[in-house]
Chain A
Amino acid sequence: MTGNGQYDVVIVGAGVVGCAIARELSKYQLRILVVEKELDVGMGTSSRNSGVIHSGIHYAPGSLRARLNVQGNAMFERLCRALKVKMNYIGKLTVAQDDEEIETLYRLKEQGEANGVPGMEILPPHKMQAIQPGVQGKLALYTPSTGIVCPYTFTIRLAESAHINGVEFLLAAKVTGITVNKGLFHITTHKGHKISGRVLINSAGLYSDAICRMLGIDEYKIYPCRGEYLILDKRFGHYLNALVYPAPHHGKAGLGIHLTKTVDENILIGPSNEYVEEADDYRTTREIMGLLIEEGRRLLPGLATSDVIRSFSGLRAKQTPPQVGGFKDFVIERRRDYPNFINLVGIESPGLTSSPAIAVMVRDLVAEVLFLNEKPGFKEELPGLLGYFHEQPQELKRELISQDKDYGEVICRCEGITKKEVMDAFQNPLGVRTLAGLKYRARVMMGRCQGGFCLPRIVELLRREFGIKPQELLLHSEGSYLFTGNVR
């Protein structure tokens, strides 16, 4: 039974890093358990970011961030193809407006070269415009290896790949205590699970310091730093051919408010930068959203407030307090005090980009203490379609409908999602039964009507096809019930 028992490796935290590690380790003959306190994977920072696969120009040569970013970036395409995750090396222009910023560009390019970032070019205005019409600036640093990916789809697929290769996932279980006895870690959860593992990996993100403290390791503290975003209607997607960022200002934390494009053609405005007290304070604020919409109006002609689909926020797991600010390098260590404890702390940007490379690095650390036998029959690829049904070529669509009529019934008008996709998403391998889980897998309710049309239809579908009682349905977490009962 999942949860109680002995494992070779226990991974705490099913974010993109934890799931990438799980998948990497699932290539070996190991009993692996991932413990996650939320009801789904990737519910923290992993699903709440710009989805950018960074090039690696921003990080100091020799740092873990620089190295893992560039390595991870190069691994992304192949990994996404295997996992059936849409991605696109869309390229990025970092634009300088004055001489000081131009100097910064050249410094960044040098730094990029030292880090092994491929294909960089300094572009004059006419070449900038050829890539991104209308962009204003004196010079731009073009990084063709910058890409975009859907961060939650990526995380979910990593988890599903790990799962299909034998990794067990224990969701909705919060780790409450860790003791060490006879070379084993003994982990308890708030639901009373008793888990033991030979190797413990801490990828708990915003709560990685809490996990450390359970082992008496006091040297780390996470300072959550919130970034708010606005999501804009897909009809603005065509405005961006490449990502456009302003050149970073010296001393300013973060990359500044900018526009990014998602693989689904939405535009994101953000993120902002604000330290908050709690590691679950995902509130959006009037002030910041006002700033974001103003920025959007400035950059996108004809933007109306009804073009804003949704706002959301993410929290960066910063290691430095507000008064210090800035960035610290990733902490990825196999501890001296606990030789079988692999500790990851402060994996903020470029965590997503680095995740495949982090997984390999962690595997090497695990190999220092466990014997890794390759697993014959490791399933590299995940089954399924790349992209949604409506994105498939016409011929394939016809064939799919003839095989399964439910591909013909469209449930989500805004995003063109079919009944079959909704059903498959609900019957996902990890057993996630929340509405948010359905959203992140099938993309329903993520369009401009935000479920106004499809929510009732989805509820009806779940009731009819799976016997789900409306009172049982949760939005995203324990206690997030949607309905209180029947009318009659």
Chain B
Amino acid sequence: MSRRTLVIVGVFVVLGLATLSSALYTVSETEQVIVTQFGQPMGEAVTQAGLHVKMPFAQEANVFDKRWLEWNGNANQVPTRDKKYIGVETYARWRIANPLLFFQRLRDERRAQSRLDDIIDGETRNVIASHDLIEVVRTTNRAFEKGEEAEDIMEAESMRQIELGRDKITRLILGRVSQVVPDYGIELVDVQIQRVNYIESVQAKVFDRMISERKRIADRHRSEGQGKSAEVRGKKERELKVIESEAYRKTQDIQGRGDAEATAIYAEAYNRNRELYRFLKTMETYHSTIDKDSWLVLSTSTDVFRYLQSQTAASGGKAAAPTR
């Protein structure tokens, strides 16, 4: 083998390798490829992963991602329909559904991102601005579980029923964006509102409101405490009165009954001999009415002294009542 043939062989080998490497290209699981010939797209996209062949040198493989791709929105300051300034952060996931169209309209992902910025941000603003804040925050009309505070303390606004809710609003944005992006070969798979926050100046006001709301709740608790304790005291007073009066009624009743029974017993006994009763009771009265300060002026004609005058005079009128 001469030196010359060796060089020729060498050149052919190098040329052959170069051709081979230009004719072969790999497509990974995450990629799809548009083959262009002198810049002109040739047919449909290659989406099957693996080793592929193209015409060397004249054709070029343009690789695009096949996966779901990111799009993260910036915090947009948007006024809602009820004039609340909020910062809304959205995120979206999209994919290159039609690589050919994508390639023709946008060429690369960077341009796609900037187009998506315009479209999604714009639609987000539109949708948010035409709805009240509560629609963006809440999803359903579920009633809040009432904890310690009463309903009337809450802002009337936050108790309002919603028409759409967060979920439907994001579907609205998704729907609107989805009408536009297929023109770019893009499919928008999802849009979500990631964060909703008050802007700084509004937030301060919200904090003030929260503080005053809590203060109202605290005041309510306190006055409720006073009210309840007064209620308990009142109950106590009432029960005391009930107990005392009940006791009074019962004692009077019992005593009355005792008196009545005693009276009946006395009456029954004394009725058997009224005269004797009167006599005995009178005698008893003497015992209790006459003491050392009493003056007794007694005539000799009274029964007891009758005999002072005459021993015989005692024969008549003895049945008469004693001196009163």
Q: Do A and B bind each other?
A: no
- Chain B interface residues (CB < 8 Å from chain A): none
